[in-house]
Structure 1
Amino acid sequence: MSEKTELLDEIDLVINPKKKVDANYLLYVLLSIVFVCVILFPKIYIQQQIYFISRDISKLKSEYDTLKEENRLIKGSVESIRYKNQILDTLF
Structure 2
Amino acid sequence: MSTAPVSATSRSWRATSPRSPSSQILAPGAQLEDLITTLHYRFKRDAGLSPEEILDKKESLLGVLRPVSTDDNLAVFEEAGFTSYGTILKYLAFEGFIAIK
Q: Quick one: higher RCO (CA 8 Å, sep 6+), 1 or 2?
A: 2
TM-score bucket (shorter structure):
under 0.3
TM-score normalised by the chain length of structure 1: 0.23
Q: Indicate the structure (1 or 2) with the bigger Cα radius of gyration.
A: 1
Which is richer in helix? 1
Which is richer in strand? 2
